[in-house]
Amino acid sequence: MYAAITSVTLVGGEARPVEVQVHVGRQQEVFRLSGLGDTAVREAKDRVRAAIASTGIQFPNRTVTVNLAPADLPKAGTDFDLPIAIGVLAASGEIPGPRPAVSVGELALDGSVRAGYSSLGAAVLSARRRIPCLVASDVAPRAAVVPGSVVYGVASLAEAVDLLRYDDRAPVRAEPPASQTTVPDLADVEGQPLARRALEVAAAGGHHLLLYGPPGGGKTMLARRLPGILPPLGDEEAVEVALIHSAAGLRRDPEPVRPFRSPHHTASRAALVGGGSGVPVPGEVSLAHRGVLFLDELAEFPRANLDSLRQPLEDGYVTVARRGSTVRFPSRFHLVAATNPCPCGYDGDHRRPCVCRPSVVARFRQRVSGPLLDRMDLVVKVGRVEKLSLGELVGESSTTVAARVMEAVRFGAESDGGRIGGEARRVLLDALDKGLVTARGAVRLAGLARTIANLARVERIGEEHLAEAMALRGVW
Amino acid sequence: MIRRLGPDDVDYPAGLCDLEASPRVHLMGTTATGPGVAVVGTRRCTGYGLGLGRAFGAAIAEAGWSTISGLARGIDAAAHHGCLAAGGHAAAVLGSGVDVCYPVENRSLYDQILASGGAILSEYPPGTPPDKWRFPERNRIIAAMAAAVVVVEAAERGGALITARLAAEIGRPVFVVPGDVDRVASVGCNRLIKDGAHPVLGAEDLVSELELVIGPRRAAAPNGRHIPETGCDIETLAITWGLTLAETLVEVGRLELEGVVGRVGDMIVPR
């Protein structure tokens, strides 16, 4: 007597099918489980046995063998409880010929179903395979957001059995998640016209940004407002981002607000780029995928950890190798870093003297110049607010700026992009000749100018766009 | 940061050596590398005087000289403002400690002078309150620091006349704006002219006269926008140039691409 039930696991932020194979033999009573599960998976045996008993069904007193295929793929978590239980009941004849479905969920000993972290993955697989999926009822409406999925919510094992026996229930309706993340508004930032402009350009072109200045100037405040002016995530992107969070054991609905991650400088390398024993877990660079990775106090991060950001920055993904599996997590993030100009924070301030020795300042600046500086298209000083006389940009709300950014992104996507006007080309070549910019610098300058032209909705990069790019580029 | 300068320091204002027992001065900011011209006048000035003060400050700055005044309300403030608007070096000599901004209403001016790389100077130690009797004494510093003194408006008695007299005593030429004979704010000026000061007939005339005293003015920058020798950040440049931030970014970028200016941190500096 044999049954195979489809379930799902997350590998590198992707939903991978898992076949839960159950065989019920004739020998003496024993319950075996194979397929590289972690402790939580192995403990499923006890929960499944109790949940089946609580549902009022006799657990087969024969040999039950469960295999989670592919058997060489490490698996974790409690989401295999439900498919194992269904498999046992199908193989022992309790559910004759269950209809194909993806099922996930943790079983409580009383037979009720609780949500694990794979519900969204199940919905993704449901859409891909065009079969329905069964998930815990409290998360079902959110999982049903996945385009093309057919989701049923089940509150208990009994309900699941019913559903598989009789096809008489309608799937749940999608309930777009109410955004749980509130992004602070740019209108709260006083002054800082230069930094605001830089933030807008960064948002419109996905340029990495370094903010520096004395403590209390508003560097962090500005960075936190970046997600609020970025274009919202598309449906599929939102699902992708939420899946990666699930893989890290974090709950995130497929909502349109882009993620904002700000790891502390004491975070380990594994926490930054991913790791974990057994099943690889995504790190901050992947949790910030399609969103913002904010490194506050950049100079405090250990050099080795910053070095490990190179691959994700360059390739847009990060490879985590663990015993038995190598997994690739996407990591296309928008980097924003902030730092003081010197250890005391007041170098270059005319109100308060800097108390650092020059050699200390030099060493400090060197630390920041390390691996990341040449990725920063924009370097901007965020001074203390005292230049309120520049009224033009003060108090603009995130909504206003976001609209301009959106327009620019759309314009950039529609135009063929890249063309640099004759005058701008001449100026750039002259600057190269004079050694004012390096070849690489010129390429990045042109990219920045492209974004500025997009913001102005101009097809051809003009000399004024190039000039603004040069002024915003900044130096550390 | 407040520094105390004596005659042996390189950035000690050279003109002060012409005073008996060259006084030590306290300095915030940066002293000018070139010569400076004092623009002084009454606090109770007319709108006409304010306009002239501003124009003179700007003209002197555009000629490449430092504008020296006393941060008082009226003509002093107008001259400082004009100088900053033209991107020049402004020096304010106070009758209080350099860290005491008097009058308080000129606080933002005081900040802008520092932010633009100008100088705040005083003979008195930090924290000294603005006592009335110190101001005439302060005026001799203004007179000595300057290569020439311009009086825009002055009543029959007042600080500006004291500055003019002290300047004449140590051999600084004094330029004066003539006014209506019955206008209170011009009585002192007209008296100075009668006593032998040079009348000036406007900003351009002033600069031509000053060229005879100081030497030729600086050639105008390529697009007429000045960046102080000591450097200036972009937001302050926008204020002094009277442009929007976007326009300023483009202008600065152009100068950078031409190689006319460079960067020291967030400061734009001439190369």
Q: In whole angstroms, what is the distance from residue A104 CA to residue A133 CA?
A: 8
DSSP A112: B
φ and ψ at B21, to 5 degrees? Answer: 50, 70
Which secondary structure element, helix H or strand E, spans residue B145, and what is its range?
helix B134-145
Q: pLDDT digit string (tens) for B232-254? A: 888 888 877 878 888 899 989 98
Q: Which residue of B has its CA nearest to A347?
A: B265
pLDDT band for position A331 (cuts 50, 70, 90): very high
pLDDT score for A351 = 65
- What the block records as the tokens of A453 is 């032209």
Q: pLDDT digit string (tens) for A60-93? A: 989 999 999 999 888 999 999 999 999 999 999 8
Q: In A, which residues are within 8 Å of B239 by CB distance? A: 387, 389-390
Q: In whole angstroms, what is the distance from residue A102 CA to residue B151 CA?
A: 91
Q: Which residue of A has its CA nearest to B266?
A: A381
Using CA atoms, how far residue A432 sits from A377, A422, A437, in Å, is 17, 15, 5
CB contact under 8 A, A470 and B244: no
DSSP B224: S
Where chain B has pLDDT below 70, the residues are: 219-225, 229-230
Tell whether A26 lies on the interface with B, counting CB pairs under 8 A.
no
pLDDT score for A218 = 87
Tell whether A194 lies on the interface with B, counting CB pairs under 8 A.
yes
Q: pLDDT digit string (tens) for A253-301? A: 888 899 999 999 999 999 999 987 778 889 999 999 999 999 999 988 9
CB contact under 8 A, B257 and A430: yes
What does the domain layout of chain A look like in residue ranges?
A: 2-166, 209-228+235-387
pLDDT band for position A393 (cuts 50, 70, 90): very low
Q: Which residue of B has its CA nearest to A428?
A: B257
pLDDT score for B146 = 94
Q: Which residue of A has its CA nearest to B113?
A: A350
Residue ranges of E strands in A75-224: 102-103, 106-107, 113-114, 133-136, 151-154, 209-212
Q: pLDDT digit string (tens) for B143-197? A: 999 999 999 999 988 889 999 999 999 999 999 999 989 888 899 999 999 999 9
- What the block records as the tokens of A336 is 């924003």
Q: In B, which residues are within 8 Å of A474 by CB distance? A: 263, 266
> Quick check: A392 pLDDT over 50?
no
Of the residues A190, A194, A428, the best mutation for testing chain B's interface (the one with the most B CB atoms within 10 Å of its CB) is: A194
pLDDT band for position A449 (cuts 50, 70, 90): very high
CB contact under 8 A, B257 and A350: no
- Burial label, A45 (beta-carbon count in 10 A; 0-12, 13-18, 19+): middle
pTM of the model: 0.70
> Quick check: A204 pLDDT over 70?
yes
**A209-228+235-387 CATH pick, 3.30.70.260, 3.40.50.300, 2.40.50.100, 2.60.40.10:** 3.40.50.300
> Quick check: A58 pLDDT over 60?
yes
Q: Are strands A106-107 and A113-114 parallel, antiparallel or unpaired?
A: antiparallel
- What the block records as the tokens of B170 is 């140590």
* CATH class of this structure's domain A2-166: alpha beta
Q: For A421-432, what is the mean pLDDT?
A: 88
Mean pLDDT score across all residues of chain A: 89
- What the block records as the tokens of A58 is 């006799």
- Burial label, A326 (beta-carbon count in 10 A; 0-12, 13-18, 19+): exposed
